[in-house]
Amino acid sequence: MELTSLIVRGLVIFTVFAVTLLIATYSTLAERKIAGFLQDRLGPDRAGPFGILQPLADAVKLFFKEEFIPSHANKWLFIVGPSLAMLTALMSSAVIPFGNEFSIDGQLIPVQGITVNIGLLYIFGVVSLGVYGLMIGGWASNNKFSLLGAIRAASQNISYELAMGMSIIAVLMLAGSLDLRQIVIDQQDNVWNVVRQPLGCVIFITCAFAECNRTPFDLPECEQELVGGYHTEYGSMKLGLYLFSEYINMFVSSAVIATLYFGGYDVPYLSTLGLDKNIETIIGIVALFGKIFFFIFFFMWVRWTLPRFRYDQLMNLGWKSLIPLAILNLILTGGGILAWEHFTK
C-alpha cells in the first residue's frame, strides 16, 4: 500500500516534470511563431511540418556548440549560474494543482506534484531564489555588461516581489489558506478571484512579467544597452539553460496566475452537470491548461507589442505605483471582508 502510493506519487511528479519541460520546449517555438505572425511573417516552418521539430533543432545546435568558459570567469560559479536558474525554474511547478483528484480503487490521487499546505509560500520562495541564478551567472562572468545585467535583475526582482507579495496576501485573506488547492476550492465556492480582486490581478500579472524578466521588463538582458545582459559571456547549452529557464518560468507564472485569479482547474457550473468525478477532473485539467496556454500567449503577445521600460520608469512603476496600489488593494480587501461578514452574518 505504502509502496503503490509512493509509485503513484512518483508517477505524478514525473508527469508534471515532463509536461513542464515539454511545454517550455514548445513555448520557444510558439514564441517565434507568434513573433512572426504578429509581425506579418510566418516564423520558422522548415523543420518538420509547421516547424514542429524546430525546438529539437535548436537544442541540437546548442549542444554542438563549443563549451566555452572565459579565462577570467570564475569557473565553478559560471557553471552553477545557469544550473541554478534551471533548477529553481523547474522546482516551482511542483506545488501547482493541475487538477482535482482522480479516484482510482477508492484511492484519491490529487493531480499535484506535492501536496503541501504552504504551496503559495513555497512558490514565492523558489521564485525569489531564481534571481540567484542570474546574479551568480552575471557576477561569475567577470564582465561589466554581465554584472550590470545581474544587478538589474536583482534590484528589479526585489522591487517587484514586494508588490507581488502584497497582492497575493489579499488572495490569502479571501481564501484563508496558503494551500493553492484551497484557494482554487475557495474560488469554486465563490467566484473567480479576478472578479473579487481586479486590481490585485493586474498588479500580480505586471509583477509576474517583471519576475520572468519578460518584455517590457526585460532590462537584465536588454541587447541594445548591455549586449546580452547577464548571459553575455554564455554560449552553447549553458546559454540554452538560461533561455529555457525563462520559458519554464513563464509556464509556471501562467499556471500561478490561472490558479490564483482565474479559478485554476475550475470550470464554472461543471459540477451541476453531474458527470463522473474522474471525467470532471480531466475536463478540469484541460481547462487549466487552456488558461495556462492563454497566459503564455499573453506573455508573448505583450512582448511583441510593448517597448522596454527605461530603468527609472521601471523603478518608479514598481515603488511608486504598484506598491501603494497593492497596499490600497490590501486595505480594500480587508474592509470588504469585514463588511461582508458584518452584513451577511
Partner 1 sequence: MQLSNRTKKIEPKPLNFWERMYLPVIFQGLNITIKHLFKKKATIRYPEVKRELSPVFRGLHILKRDAQGRERCTACGLCALACPAEAISMLSAERTKEEKHLYREEKYAAVYEVNMLRCIFCGLCEEACPKAAIYLQKDKFAPAFFGREEVIYGKDRLVESVTNRAKVGLDQ
**What residues make contact with partner 1 under the rule CB under 8 A?**
34, 36-42, 45, 202, 301-302, 304-306, 317, 321
Answer for the pair 248, 26: CB distance below 8 angstroms, yes or no: no
Angle of CA points 123, 289, 170, to nearest 5°: 40
Burial (CB count <10 Å: 0-12, 13-18, 19+), residue 155 = middle
Least Å distance between CB 203 and partner 1? Answer: 10
Least Å distance between CB 42 and partner 1? Answer: 4
Q: Which is nearer to partner 1, 41 or 144 (CB)?
A: 41
Least Å distance between CB 37 and partner 1? Answer: 5
Q: What Å distances lie between residue 7 and 2, 19, 63, 287, CA to CA?
A: 9, 18, 33, 26
Helix (H) or strand (E) holding 232: none
Q: Which is nearer to partner 1, 17 or 319 (CB)?
A: 319
Determine the Cα–Cα distance for residues 209 and 216; give it in Å rounded to an integer. 8
Q: Which is nearer to partner 1, 40 or 189 (CB)?
A: 40
Torsion of Cα atoms, 334 then 330 then 259 then 337, to 10°? 10
Q: Which is nearer to partner 1, 36 or 110 (CB)?
A: 36
Q: Which is nearer to partner 1, 12 or 326 (CB)?
A: 326
Answer for the pair 160, 257: CB distance below 8 angstroms, yes or no: no
Least Å distance between CB 27 and partner 1? Answer: 17
Least Å distance between CB 57 and partner 1? Answer: 18
Q: Which is nearer to partner 1, 14 or 37 (CB)?
A: 37
Answer for the pair 251, 93: CB distance below 8 angstroms, yes or no: yes
Least Å distance between CB 326 and partner 1? Answer: 13
Determine the Cα–Cα distance for residues 138 and 217; give it in Å rounded to an integer. 18
Q: Which is nearer to partner 1, 180 or 203 (CB)?
A: 203
107: β partners: 104
102: β partners: 109
Cell of 246: 525563462
Cell of 17: 516534470
Helix (H) or strand (E) holding 315: helix 311-315
Least Å distance between CB 261 and partner 1? Answer: 16
Q: Which is nearer to partner 1, 160 or 234 (CB)?
A: 160
